[in-house]
Amino acid sequence: MSPDQESFEVHPGLRLRFVAAGEQIAWRPLPEQPTRPAERRGRIALLREDEARFEEWGSDDRGGVMVDSSPLGALLMMLAIDRRGVPTALGAVHAGRDDAFPSGALVAVWGDGSAPEDEHPRFTDVLRLARYALE
């Protein structure tokens, strides 16, 4: 699925709230997991009592991001989109399909490559979910 460029607009005030929340995130390293691809870099984001797994690979213009399917994960996705620009594909992985993301994951890809086919979330779905992380 190729996301629609025009659908990636975020109100400037909401964008500032996302960025401010991103500055409050504490990070910790992931425990070693030999089953993850070697090119993946990952860590755990902590915001208030919530935590979410964050993995990325490649570069900002040719790579991807995979996050927990949660409000904090969606906020991490929005921050990645703010930094990297509009992804070429959005996808989702259903719960139980990836041991590292037992409750499911959101995936964005930039450049070549494809997103998982389990679901095709719309940008507005990710945006709405990310707003819950602000509360």
Give residue-wise pLDDT tens across range 53-109.
999 999 888 999 999 999 999 999 999 999 999 899 999 999 989 889 999 999 999
d(C-alpha 9, C-alpha 5), whole Å: 8
Q: What is the pLDDT of residue 2?
A: 47
Average pLDDT, the chain: 89
Name every residue whose Cβ is closer than 8 Å to that of residue 119 and which is 6 or more positions away in sequence. Answer: 91, 92, 94
Q: What is the pLDDT of residue 7?
A: 62
Tell how strand 63-68 and strand 89-93 pair up.
Answer: unpaired
pLDDT at residue 119 above 90? no
